[in-house]
Structure formats: structure tokens, C-alpha cells
Structure 1
């Protein structure tokens, strides 16, 4: 990058691009799928579990945090679907 010099690497830009794409796709899923919040919770749960398996001693522990967050989001989606069902 001509403006940032040595502060930015190609790997960092690729990670940022993948994270941005995942963020946008999850928001579109929540917006346009009837049970999108449940699916997003499941995706976050899966990402947290895989991150925890790959790097169990990482500090701070992002894997277990995403795992719990995914579980809570999925449970909230199930509850919202339950109160809306006909």
C-alpha cells in the first residue's frame, strides 16, 4: 500500500476483507431470512468452537466467547420465532 507503507501486509488486508464479507453476509441473512437470527447464532457457535479447537490457549480467549455468544444469539432467535409463530 503506497499510503500505509510497512504498517499493512497483504495477509492483514485479506483477513479484513474476509471478516467484512462475513459481517455483511450475516447481516443480510438476518434481514432477509425468516429464521436468519438462528442461523447466524449457529454460525457464530461453529466459528467459536472451531477457534477454540484450533487455538485453545489463546489470550484473550476469543473461541469460548464466540461459542457462548453464538449460543445466546441462537437461543434468542429460537425464542423470537416461538413468540411469532402462528
Structure 2
């Protein structure tokens, strides 16, 4: 399984079926998943960095992850038929 999709499945364990369904049919969704995993990976690296810009970068990646989480949730919500909500 794609690393990005795996990261999103960990983030939203209650929505695994919807994630898998949307992953199967949307390259855009898969791209957001990859961006999400990349941002999480970068955040982990900055969390242990001794670089003087560490704190600034940590905040930036936390904000990016929050924005991507909202985008992922929106895509998942939009993928569910109204009768299934």
C-alpha cells in the first residue's frame, strides 16, 4: 500500500473503507495523501533537529498537516453519497 494512503488510514481509522474507495478512483486524493505523509515525515525530522529554524519549521509543518487533514476530511465527506451520511 502507498505510504501516503497508509498515513491517512492511521489518521482516520474510522474511515478506512471510504479512504480505500476514494484512493481507488482519485489520483488527486492519492496526491493529497502523499503530501500528508511527506509533511508528517518532515515534521518528525524538524522535531529532532538542532537547526536554529527548528521551532519555526515545526509550526509551519503542524499548520500544513492541519490544512491537509481538513482537505482530506472534505474529500472523504464529499465522496459519501448523501443517503449514506
TM-score (norm 2): 0.45
TM-score (norm 1): 0.44
Structure number with the bigger relative contact order (C-alpha 8 A, sep ≥ 6) is: 2
Larger Cα Rg: Structure 1 or Structure 2? 1
Bigger proportion of residues as helix: 2
